[in-house]
Amino acid sequence: MSEVHLGMKSRERIFRFIQPVVAILFGLAIGLLITLYAGENPWHVLKILANSAFGSVENIGMTLFYATPLIFTGLSVAIGFHAGLFNIGAEGQLAFGALAAAAVGILYPNVPGPLAPVLATLAAFAAGAVWGYIPGWLRARRGAHEVINTIMLNFVAAGLTSWITLYLLKSTESQNPETRTIAPAYLISHFAFFGDTPFNPSFLLALVAAFALWVLLWKTVLGYEMRAVGQNELAARAAGIDSAKMRIIALTLAGGLAGFVGVGEVLGHSHKFEIGFSPGYGFMGIAVALLGRNRPLGIIGAAILFGALHKGSLDLDMETEKVTRDLSLILQALIILAVSADGFWERVRKAVL
């Protein structure tokens, strides 16, 4: 009997592993069929996508560079989900994180070499965390729903970071809405191996953050309490878990994780804070978390996939006549739909197992 059970269990496990892969291929296939309708050869489109995303070390470097902020925001959304919270505020949190990293780099130019990027990284985390703490506190102590508050705080963040940029840290040389450049000690160098790309060690920070989150959620008492609150608040309360506190901690950490986006973008790439630098990483993080099933490893995979789609589609404008880079958005949407079609996959699972 137990052997039969084990057989079932391992098959179940294999299915759970394969299912998202099949779903992704399914979404890709449908998306490529659309290009056929547009009058383009899908195989040709796929080749351009694949080549542009993974065809050379430079291309891989760009793909991973695009993936890095999505890992952070994906983790940010995921930790919220585990505590039963929907963090739509990663966009505002990452803006504050990036601005803080830039501000430290501008205001404290004399911090010695190795310490400087560490200081800016901590500042990015702290600033994002503050912007997560606010809706966390409002939810826990005042019962104000975090969905509303995180959305609204995105607008507040956009306004406040713009004001700080334009009135306190404005670059005098540039016509663009951006801050002055950070001191050289703060710069993070690019990976030389990947050639002339902005791909930098913030990617390693993202991997460490993903691992740390996994340890936190599944190995520690704190993570256990957060997940218990997220699953059943009443049962957690009866067990003596302070759900208000867990909620505040979860959203604070979520904000900090989103704030890390600033490390790669500011210290590693632009070397200043540019208003509107994020193309919506915070919102894409929701899709990444969904696709990665809120698991750190899944989030890394989903972020790389999205990075690849983004990078891959950039060449479509030039190399095809009838398909533009917007195909990447169509593919993202179709993949999410395919992955989240739970009812369909449940039927497949029953038929297969």
Partner 1 sequence: MTTQPLAVELRGLAKRFGSVIANAGIQLEVRAGSIHGVIGENGAGKSTAMKMLYGMYAPDEGEILIQGKPLRFKSPSDAIHAGIGMVHQHFMLAGPHTALDNIILGAEPSHLGVLDRAGARTKLQALCKQYGLPLDLDAPVETLSVGVQQRIEILKLLYRNAQILILDEPTAVLTPQETEELLGNLKKLKAEGKTILIITHKLKEVLSFTDEVTVFRGGKVSGRVKTSETNAQQLANLMVGREVVLKVQEVESAAGVKHTFGKCLLRVERLNLKQKGHSHLKDVSFEVRAGEVVGIAGVEGNGQTELIEAILHPSDPRCLTSGKVRVLDQDVTDRKTFEIRALGVGVIPQDRHHQGLLLERSVKENFLLGLHRRRQFAKHGFILQKALDQSVEKALENYDVRPRRADIAVGGLSGGNQQKLIIAREFECGPQVLIAAQPTRGVDVGAIEFIHRRILKARSEGVATLLISSELDEILTLSDRILVIYEGQIVGDHLRGQADENQIGLKMGGGHHE
Task: Tell me how far apart the alpha carbons of residues 136 and 133 are, in angstroms, rounded to a whole number.
Answer: 5
Q: Find the shortest distance in angstroms from Cβ 47 to partner 1.
A: 42
- 118 or 353: CB nearest partner 1: 353
Q: Is 352 in the site for partner 1 (CB under 8 A)?
A: no
Are the C-beta atoms of 107 and 182 separated by less than 8 Å?
no
- 178 or 225: CB nearest partner 1: 225
Residue by residue, DSSP assigns 186-201 as: GPPPPPGGG-SS---T
State both tokens at 102: 């830039």
Q: Find the shortest distance in angstroms from Cβ 221 to partner 1.
A: 5
Q: Is 232 in the site for partner 1 (CB under 8 A)?
A: yes
Residue among 41, 174, 231, 324 that touches partner 1 (CB under 8 A): 231
- 1 or 318: CB nearest partner 1: 1
Residues in 200-219 that interact with partner 1 by CB under 8 A: 219
Count of beta carbons in the 10 Å neighbourhood of residue 325:
16
- 245 or 325: CB nearest partner 1: 245
- 5 or 175: CB nearest partner 1: 5
108 three-state secondary structure:
coil
Helices assigned H by DSSP within 39-178: 42-54, 57-82, 90-107, 115-142, 146-163
Q: Find the shortest distance in angstroms from Cβ 349 to partner 1.
A: 12
Helix (H) or strand (E) holding 267: none
- 180 or 227: CB nearest partner 1: 227
Helices 243-259 and 202-219: crossing angle, nearest 10°? 170
Task: Tell me how far apart the alpha carbons of residues 167 and 175 are, in angstroms, rounded to a whole number.
Answer: 14
Residue among 224, 314, 319, 325 that touches partner 1 (CB under 8 A): 224
Cα–chain center distance at 309? 15
Q: Find the shortest distance in angstroms from Cβ 242 to partner 1.
A: 7
Half-sphere exposure of 322 (CA within 13 A, CB side): 12
Are the C-beta atoms of 86 and 109 separated by less than 8 Å?
no
178 three-state secondary structure:
strand
Residue among 94, 185, 210, 228 that touches partner 1 (CB under 8 A): 228
- Total site size for partner 1, rule CB under 8 A: 24
Are the C-beta atoms of 101 and 123 separated by less than 8 Å?
yes
Stretch of 94-102, 151-159, 230-238, 309-317 lying at the interface with partner 1 (CB under 8 A):
230-238
Stretch of 48-56, 75-83, 229-237, 299-307 lying at the interface with partner 1 (CB under 8 A):
229-237
Lay out the site mask for partner 1 across 3-42 (x = CB under 8 A, - = otherwise): -xx--x----------------------------------
Task: Tell me how far apart the alpha carbons of residues 258 and 73 are, in angstroms, rounded to a whole number.
Answer: 5
Output phi, psi for 294, to 5 deg. 60, 15
- 28 or 217: CB nearest partner 1: 217
Q: Find the shortest distance in angstroms from Cβ 332 to partner 1.
A: 28
Q: Find the shortest distance in angstroms from Cβ 222 to partner 1.
A: 6
Residue among 192, 221, 318, 351 that touches partner 1 (CB under 8 A): 221
- Eight-state DSSP code of residue 181: P
Residues in 233-292 that interact with partner 1 by CB under 8 A: 234-242
Residues in contact with partner 1 by the rule CB under 8 A: 1, 4-5, 8, 219-222, 224-225, 227-228, 231-232, 234-242, 353
